[in-house]
Amino acid sequence: MSKRILVIEDSDINRRLMRDILLYHGFEVLEAVDGKEGIETARRERPDLILLDMQMPVMNGFDVLKEMRSDSALHEIKIIVVTSYAMTGDRERIIEAGADDYIAKPIDTRELPERVRRLL
């Protein structure tokens, strides 16, 4: 059975890129366009891993991390933040907020599936 990955990303282009990469590598892909929808989808579908953007409407990535890490049904799901936050200290701040890993945009098409496999 293939692992299920939830992509929470408001950009259609980035969401489509991650979906296509993951499908090519044999993963099942679920999608959400903002943090609120992402949390609802995670509760309903229980993905094996989440790829999370930080800058989104409705609910940003920091709020998603906080809510998921405090929810007993979701707190163990692995989360990789995929973001344009790439300034000094951003990675550390994101990991402290509850992410398991961090990938800076633009997305490296070879790196993404390897990082996903590593956490699964």
Q: What is the CATH number of the domain that holds 34?
A: 3.40.50.2300
Q: What is the tally of structural domains in the chain? A: 1
- What is the pLDDT, as a whole number, of residue 79? 98
Containing structural domain, residue 107: 4-119
Give me the DSSP letters along 48-108: SEEEE-SS-SSS-HHHHHHHHHH-TTTTTSEEEEEES--STTHHHHHHHTT-SEEEESSP-
Rounded CA-CA distance 54/83 in Å is 6
Which whole-number Å values give the CA distances from 115 to 44, 58, 80, in the listed order? 25, 27, 8
The tens place of each residue's pLDDT in the chain, 120 residues long, gives 689 999 999 999 999 999 999 999 999 999 999 999 999 999 999 999 999 999 998 899 999 999 999 999 999 999 999 988 767 788 899 999 999 999 999 999 999 999 999 999
Q: Which two tokens stand for residue 50?
A: 């989440």
Rounded CA-CA distance 53/44 in Å is 20
Q: Which two tokens stand for residue 6?
A: 């939830």
Rounded CA-CA distance 6/61 in Å is 14
- What is the pLDDT, as a whole number, of residue 91? 87
Q: Measure CA of the first residue to CA of the last residue in the chain; give whole Å.
A: 13
